[in-house]
Structures are given as C-alpha cells and as structure tokens.
Amino acid sequence: MVELVVCGSLSLALDQSSKRLARLSSHSRLNTRSNGRPASLLLIWLAALVCAIVLARSGAWFQTDIARLGLAAAFGGAAGNLLDLLQRRAVVDFIDLGWWPSFNLADVAIVGGLVLAFSHA
C-alpha cells in the first residue's frame, strides 16, 4: 500500500514540478486547456478512486503489483491535472510534438498507467 501512495505522489510531484519549470522557462511554448468544472471533476476522481480500491480489494481486478502501480501512476497524473484546474482553471500543457496535440507529464502518467493497469489486470 505504501508503494502505491509513493508512486501516485511521485507522478503528481513530477507533473507539478515539470509544469512549474515550463512556466518559468522563456523558451517553452505553453498551452492551456479547460476541462469542465473542477468540483465535478474532483467528485469523479474520488468516485473512480473508490471504485478502483473496491475492485482491487474484492479480487475482481488489479491483482498484480504492476497493475496497482499503473493505477497509482494514473491517479497521480489525474490529480496533477485536477490540481491545475483547481488552481488555474486550466491545465498547463508544454510538450508539443507538432503532429500530436500538446500534453504534459500527467497525461503520460494517466495513459501509461492505465495501459499497465489493464494489461496486467
């Protein structure tokens, strides 16, 4: 359990640190996106967290360490974007590949974490 909290916290900390550095860098091109009402998204995040815990504890899903670490990374990333919405009313995106919509490390943690979680569920 402790390693899950550490993994989620690490995802959140890396995301927030990278966004802070991107905002401070004059060379970085920042984009922002607004994704609805933060209070509603917070309730959805909490409901998803409760559902994931219930599924893992019931033995129905997410029984491997890799699956649970993937979930922790995804929830940490989602918390990073949610924190942006609560603080700034917009998510800060700074990774721009040109051929893909801009994104941030939280998005990477969400997608990568969910891929790990469901491929090892």
pLDDT of residue 26: 61
* pLDDT for the residue numbered 31: 75
Q: Count Cβ atoms below 10 Å from residue 113 Cβ, excluding itself.
A: 24
Low-confidence stretches of the chain (pLDDT < 50) are: none
CA dihedral (96, 27, 24, 18) positive or negative: positive
Neighbours of 25 (CB within 10 A): 11
Q: Report pLDDT for 36.
A: 63
In angstroms, the Cα distances linking 113 to 29, 42, 89, 104, 109 are 26, 19, 25, 14, 5
> Catalytic amino acids?
93, 107
Res 109: pLDDT:
96
- The set of residues, in sequence order, having a beta carbon less than 8 Å from that of 32 and lying 6+ positions away, is 88, 90, 91, 92, 93
Q: Residue 35's pLDDT is what?
A: 66
Domain ranges of the chain: 67-121
User: Given this model, what pLDDT does residue 89 score?
Assistant: 85
Would you give the distance in Å from CA 79 to the centre of its chain?
5
pLDDT tens column, 60-83: 888 898 999 999 999 999 999 999
CB contact burial 77-100 (16+ within 10 A = b; e otherwise):
bbbbbbbbbeeeeebbbbbeeeee
Give me the pLDDT at residue 28, please. Answer: 55
